[in-house]
Amino acid sequence: MDNKQEGLTYAGAGVDISAGNRSVKLIKESVRSTFRPGVLTDIGGFGGLFALDKARYQEPVLVSGTDGVGTKLRVAMLLDKHDTIGIDAVAMCANDILVQGAEPLFFLDYLAVGKLVPEKVSEIVGGVAEGCLRAGCALIGGETAEMPGFYAPGEYDIAGFVVGVVDKHKIIDGKQIKPGDKLIGLSSSGLHSNGYSLARKALWETAGYKVDRYLPELGRTVGEEMLEPTRIYVKQVLPLLNKYNIKGLAHITGGGLTENVPRILPPGTGAVLERNWPVPAVFNLIQSVGKIADAEMLRTFNMGIGLVLVVSEGEVELVMSELSAMGERAYLIGEVKAGDGVVEYI
């Protein structure tokens, strides 16, 4: 009688190395499509190498950022649609370093899954690659971790890490901002990637909407609206930095205009915003069904403005004109006043 017992394997414990290898093969083409001058390594190495073109900079400063997508992931899982969530991961990072005047150079992603399905990984990373193309940065590395027993099958989380560069004398820190400067708002695509806990509470629990519920006021289903990718503003803003004195930039994420605009204001100043921009229908819907106060909406969601630029009164028309020529929806939404770091609304 053969008393041999079959030994344990990694695959038997829930981690499939072969599936991981297949995932890498599936994502190679999309990852390579993001490569830009400076990339020195191909996918599959232990570390990504990037050579900084120091001839372009007098005193280069590296700027880094990291972020995730939050509970927007729950929408992707419910819809079983995973090809755009990676755009959000890139957007949250790239927009954050852009506000300091940095050009994004390269990006790394971290993907943790309950069970590794190569085709799903390919969808997710394909979205990351698309985000990198929109931001002009290279996807030079990442990690896919299969974690059975930690994430349920079908669940995953994603985070991103970006590194960019800016000349030291061109760092945007808001110190030049003064009363009388104007605030320009660039339109958002909707919810972006913030406030989803409140949005889900209002739309799913209070209103009882399912993700496949079509709403005429949205022109699409609830799920489609909630999964709309975050806008990436790099290619619109970088050209302006070499032509105009952009004194400050604010990425409008969690905290809304109320909390994010003050982050770039120097001591002794505040801001007055005129609510004259078009507000996407999804925000009006959330506020209506959730009976949410204006102040709570403005400090939770972007309310239709994804990025704010601060410019002098003498340059505001030139900047607005150039943004318009790009096809950008830009609005003169307010100005800087003497104050104590508070945003007031008219």
What are the structural domains, with CATH classification, of the chain?
Answer: 17-170 (3.30.1330.10), 182-345 (3.90.650.10)
pLDDT at 26: 86
Q: Are the C-beta atoms of 23 and 123 separated by less than 8 Å? A: no
Q: Looking at the predicted structure, is the pLDDT value of residue 153 above 90?
A: no
d(CA 257, CA 304): 10
pLDDT at 19: 85
pLDDT at 13: 83
DSSP state of 126: H
> In 10 A of CB 245, how many CB atoms?
15
pLDDT at 278: 96
Q: What is the mean pLDDT of residues 235-250?
A: 97
pLDDT in tens, 10-25: 888 888 888 888 888 8
Read off the amino acid at residue 256: G
Q: Looking at the predicted structure, is the pLDDT value of residue 5 above 80?
A: no
Element (H, E) at 62: strand 60-68
Quick one: which of 159, 77, 70, 145 has its CA closest to 112?
145
pTM (two decimals): 0.94
d(CA 228, CA 283): 13
pLDDT in tens, 91-141: 999 999 999 999 999 999 999 999 999 999 999 999 999 999 999 999 999
Q: Are the C-beta atoms of 226 and 85 separated by less than 8 Å? A: no
Q: For 316, phi and psi rounded to 5 degrees?
A: -60, -40
Q: Looking at the predicted structure, is the pLDDT value of residue 310 above 80?
A: yes
pLDDT at 4: 59
Q: Are the C-beta atoms of 177 and 269 separated by less than 8 Å? A: yes
d(CA 168, CA 25): 40
Distances (CA, A) of 328 to 137, 201, 218, 315: 21, 32, 22, 17
DSSP string, 11-27: TTTT--HHHHHHHHHHH
> In 10 A of CB 25, how many CB atoms?
12
d(CA 25, CA 60): 35
pLDDT at 290: 97
179 vs 16 pLDDT, higher one:
179
pLDDT at 110: 97
Q: What angle do CA 170, 172, 174 make, to 5 degrees?
A: 140
Q: What is the mean pLDDT of residues 27-48?
A: 91
Q: Percentage of residues in the chain with pLDDT exceeding 90?
A: 88
pLDDT at 3: 55
What's the chain's average pLDDT?
A: 95
pLDDT at 260: 97
Q: What is the mean pLDDT of residues 75-85?
A: 96
